[in-house]
Structure 1
Amino acid sequence: MNGLRVVPTWSHGQERLYVCRKDGRNIAWYDREAGRVNILSEDRRADILETLGPFLTGPVTVGPPPVPTPAELARLTLHPDDDLAPNRPGEALLIALDRDPGPARRLRPDPRRRALEAERTTGEILDRLDGAGWHTLHSLPLPGGDRVHHLAIGPAGLFAVHSLYARKQRVLVADPLLTLGRRSPDPLLRRVRADADRASHALTAEVRPVLALVGPSDVRLTTTPREVRLLRDAELAGLARQGGVLKPADVEALHAMARDRRTWTSGG
């Protein structure tokens, strides 16, 4: 026996198998998804590979840990209080409802809960793009109390996605006005464009505006909206099928920048 043992751990949904000495010190780890064994003690390479043998699947590369990229270094040095990546879809609404849930009974549904349902639906769809080289951040704060509902970053570029609850309602769009059911027209498209412009300013990169309509019965356009893409929730996954604009390294760098709260609160 070589005195080594394997300890599995999970982080952000990914499994790593650490090789530890008797004193608990890690001397290597196996990243199954990347197909790589990272060795910290080169003199024990043979023992490490022998210990990991039953766990290795498919071809693997073996060597010292790769040098962190600038994006990885930014993530590693980011204070947890400034990291927006853990935000859930509708994070701001969840906090508001927790602080003030409103009366137990009311004549009409709380509009915040419908808005939360829309953001959750949109967020869950966008989060599923992660395996296709995308990252999505939720509820990003803008100066003045506004926020970007979702920021999708991937090979096709950056998209500021605004979610709108439209369950079983007709939507009429006459840019910049949007009419939902029997409600009064609202210049919502103006806000969607403005949020994307502010995100572009914060990230110094082009961010395109998207309005995600959750569950509408019908959508009619009297004019083609300027710059804003209108997508039903079922169409959001199509973003991943667009042509590539950003390289993987650019996606990671922009994600590292966007997840930092200071990126959004330092400007006016």
Structure 2
Amino acid sequence: MPGLKVLPSGRPGRGRLYVNLPDGEAVAWYDRRTNRVSLLSDTRREAVLTALRPYLTGDYTVGPPPVPTAADLLRLALPPDEDLAPNRPGEPLLGELTYGSPGARTRHRIRRELQALERMGAELDALESEDCRVLHAVPLPDGGVIDHLLIGPPGVLCVRTVPGLRRRARIGDLLLTVGRDEPGPEPRLARLAAAYATRVLTAPVVPALALVEASRVEVAPTLRDVRILQPGTAAAHFASNPATLKPPDVDALYALARDTRTWLRPTRRRTGARAW
């Protein structure tokens, strides 16, 4: 059928590919995660497969759309303005640089933190090929954010990213010190953010600190409840843990977590997340 267009949805390489008529009406879509082509009309089967041929891989299946799961229904009912899935790493910082008027020193600090968030965010995004889901810049009631939220078969990880500045980083039970800077309470704040995420998602969430471009990372042997990540190690670290969530559980938690309203319920306790 002439005029069919293939358009992507979601993050590059991981979202669905929609096959649309010239007027924009969808006639099918290809879900790369399940390797399935869903047809809204079987009469267009050959035309749809022809349009999708450059993108199909492996042993794909073709058929009518599957019956929506509870997670699908939540996603379909989610208003676009409340959807966190499109958020980029460091979304609040990008807004501050674009629309704010920070001084030169503040702008330099923001760019430095943004670079660390983008690098760690890109590595976590790559884990989506392993049946994981990632959200960035999750807003919280106290005005802070969770830098990254990773949901996958090994569980849920709440990640706080810190620039290493090519200096030695020392991480203790309560404080993190980078170079000669004043110690910061990042381990404690990571725990508080994960504890809040555990409450709103009603699922265990593990706190993690990501050190980006540190020359060396020293971790106190007593620090056992906070995961320590670095670029290049996140995938192996997450994959080394046993699976505790089935794919439907991952989808259900992701559908709940991507809704802004899940996180902005009133709370009397500070989450300890990053405040810009």
**Equivalent residue number for residue 69 of structure 1:** 69
CA 53–195 in structure 1, closer or farther in 2 if over 3 Å, else same: closer
Contact 1:75–1:256, Cα closer than 8 Å, also in 2: yes
- Structure 1, gaps ≥5 residues long: none
Q: Distance in 1 between matches of 2:39 and 2:111?
A: 49
Query: TM-score, normalised to structure 1's length?
Result: 0.85
The one-letter code matched in structure 2 to 1:68 is P
- How far the C-alpha of 1:8 sits from its partner, in A, is 2.3
Shift of 1:89: 0.1
Q: Root-mean-square deviation (CA), in Å?
A: 2.5
Post-superposition CA distance 1:10-62 (Å, at most 9, x none): 222432334x5x99866x42527345443444xxx4x4334346455665544
Q: Percent identity?
A: 40
2:210 match: 212
- Alpha-carbon displacement from aligned partner over 1:148-199 (angstroms, at most 9, x marks no partner): 1100001110000000001211111221121111112222211110010011
- Alpha-carbon separation, structure 1, partners of 2:88 and 2:70: 26
| Number of aligned residue pairs | 257
The 3 A distance-change label for structure 1 pair 129 and 23 is closer
Aligned to 2:242: 243
Alignment of 1:1-268 (within 5 A): 6-12=4-10, 13=12, 14-18=16-20, 28-29=27-28, 31=30, 33=32, 34-41=34-41, 45=42, 47-52=43-48, 54-55=50-51, 60-103=60-103, 105-106=104-105, 110-238=108-236, 239-268=238-267
The Cα of 1:221 is off from its aligned counterpart by 2.7
Quote how far apart the aligned CAs of 1:93 are: 1.2
What amino acid is the match of 1:31? Y
- Equivalent-residue separation in structure 1 for 2:162 and 2:219 (angstroms): 16
Secondary structure in 2 matching 1:95:
helix
Structure 1 residue runs of 4 or more that deviate by more than 3 Å after TM superposition: 3-7, 22-26, 32-41, 49-63
Label 1:62 to 1:185 Cα distance change in 2 as closer, same or farther (>3 A): closer
